[in-house]
């Protein structure tokens, strides 16, 4: 059976400081490896929600690569197009949490397996059942080959009547924002669903007003633009207007991966044909549950966990 949802991009392991306020420019303790990478987290979150998911990407022939492949298999994700290019180690991201709540990243990614992805590795047939292709901007800035592979996947998706969702996931540690914007342009234009954080919407449009930024991204096409607002929830813009949907109050243990779990839940609910309001509540609940557990994808909830959580709030 071919997947209905395909995530393409970097699978990596994350190795992080256990506590906030431990900068990485001096020795100290790390914990990990944790399976991570925005598209990988989204794939796991989508699989837990019951979707037939395929992951396209590359890992090394090493312990970290085994960790990721085993994880995907355990989650029921199709790995037919998870490559193991010779001579490349698995991608790694080191992360620290600053006292002001921000994160610092050190990426070993571009020259790792994650960056060694090529369009000719894809086959149109894999996309024959596709409903959603999901791409993260963090993949587009890895290499020209990654960008071309994503574009090929997008072409195969559109040719098969599938829809395309794009999360900008701007990472200044990978590329300055101005350059990312240029590389993103064709993907921003082609997206059926755009899933930026509110800060990313500002950065991508050079506009500090939420409403104007969202409407600029919306353009006059038939798109949905969702501004993710952390604990405050999200705002959904579409041809029918704007909807602010508040978040759920939870104790935040680890914010990493909230956006990706939100994305998976949002696309799943759109596929169900739910209203945008019900869809946004479902996605907010998925994001809220995600931050209550340590580890990038450990908090990805199932549909019944989300429904129980909403009932109790």
> Which residues of the chain form contacts with ligand ATP (CB under 6 A)?
197, 228-231, 233-234, 247-248, 250, 252, 255-260, 262, 284, 287-288, 291
**Partner in contact with 32, chosen from Mg ion, ligand ATP, none, beta carbon below 5 to 8 Å by kind:** none
CB of 289 to ligand ATP, least distance (A): 8
Whether residue 77 contacts residue 36, with contact meaning beta carbons closer than 8 Å, is answered with no
CB of 136 to ligand ATP, least distance (A): 9
Whether residue 39 contacts residue 263, with contact meaning beta carbons closer than 8 Å, is answered with no
CB of 238 to ligand ATP, least distance (A): 17
**Partner in contact with 256, chosen from Mg ion, ligand ATP, none, beta carbon below 5 to 8 Å by kind:** ligand ATP
Q: Please give the Cα distance from 59 to 85 (Å, whole number).
A: 7
Q: Which residue, 90 or 138, is less far from Mg ion as judged by CB? A: 138
**Partner in contact with 96, chosen from Mg ion, ligand ATP, none, beta carbon below 5 to 8 Å by kind:** none
Q: Which residue, 5 or 122, is less far from ligand ATP as judged by CB? A: 5
Whether residue 187 contacts residue 179, with contact meaning beta carbons closer than 8 Å, is answered with no
Q: Which residue, 47 or 234, is less far from ligand ATP as judged by CB? A: 234
Q: Which residue, 209 or 244, is less far from ligand ATP as judged by CB? A: 244
**Partner in contact with 234, chosen from Mg ion, ligand ATP, none, beta carbon below 5 to 8 Å by kind:** ligand ATP
**Partner in contact with 248, chosen from ligand ATP, Mg ion, none, beta carbon below 5 to 8 Å by kind:** ligand ATP
Q: Which residue, 133 or 227, is less far from ligand ATP as judged by CB? A: 227
Q: Which residue, 116 or 265, is less far from Mg ion as judged by CB? A: 265
In terms of Cβ atoms closer than 10 Å to its own Cβ (0-12, 13-18, 19+), residue 80 is exposed
The footprint of Mg ion on residues 168-187 (CB under 5 A) is 169
How many chain residues bind Mg ion (CB under 5 A)? 2
**Partner in contact with 39, chosen from ligand ATP, Mg ion, none, beta carbon below 5 to 8 Å by kind:** none
CB of 45 to ligand ATP, least distance (A): 10
Query: Which residues make beta-bridge pairs with 6?
Result: 54, 133
Q: Which of 162, 259, 299, 301 binds Mg ion (CB under 5 A)?
A: 259
CB of 133 to ligand ATP, least distance (A): 18
CA distances from 53 to 40, 129, 214, 220, 250 (A): 11, 11, 29, 31, 29
Residues that bind Mg ion (CB under 5 A): 169, 259
């Amino acid at each position: 059976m071919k997947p209905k949802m395909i995530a393409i991009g970097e699978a990596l392991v994350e190795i992080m400081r256990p506590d906030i306020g431990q900068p990485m420019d001096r020795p100290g303790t790390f914990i990990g490896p944790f399976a991570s990478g925005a598209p990988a987290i989204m794939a796991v979150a989508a699989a837990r929600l019951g979707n037939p998911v395929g992951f396209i990407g590359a890992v090394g022939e090493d312990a970290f690569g085994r960790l990721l492949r085993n994880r995907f298999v355990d989650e029921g994700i199709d790995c037919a197009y998870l490559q193991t290019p010779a001579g490349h180690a698995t991608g790694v991201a080191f992360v620290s949490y600053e006292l002001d709540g921000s994160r610092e990243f050190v990426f070993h990614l571009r020259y790792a397996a994650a960056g060694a992805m090529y369009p000719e590795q894809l086959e149109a047939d894999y996309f024959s059942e596709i409903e959603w292709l999901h791409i993260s901007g963090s993949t587009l800035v890895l290499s020209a080959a990654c960008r071309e592979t994503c574009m090929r996947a997008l072409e195969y998706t559109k040719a098969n009547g599938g829809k395309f969702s794009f999360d900008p996931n701007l990472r200044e540690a990978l590329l300055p924002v101005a350059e990312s914007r240029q590389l993103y342009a064709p993907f921003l234009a082609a997206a059926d669903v755009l899933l930026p954080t509110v800060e990313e919407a500002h950065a991508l449009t050079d506009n500090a007003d939420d409403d104007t930024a969202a409407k600029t991204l919306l353009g006059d096409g038939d798109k949905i633009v969702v501004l993710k607002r952390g604990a405050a929830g999200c705002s959904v813009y579409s041809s029918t207007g704007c909807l602010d949907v508040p978040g759920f109050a939870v104790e935040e243990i680890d914010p990493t991966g909230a956006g990706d779990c939100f994305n998976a839940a949002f696309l799943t609910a759109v596929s169900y044909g739910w209203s945008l309001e019900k869809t946004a509540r479902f996605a907010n609940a998925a994001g809220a549950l995600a931050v209550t557990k340590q580890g990038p994808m450990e908090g990805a909830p199932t549909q019944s966990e989300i429904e129980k959580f909403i009932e109790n709030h």
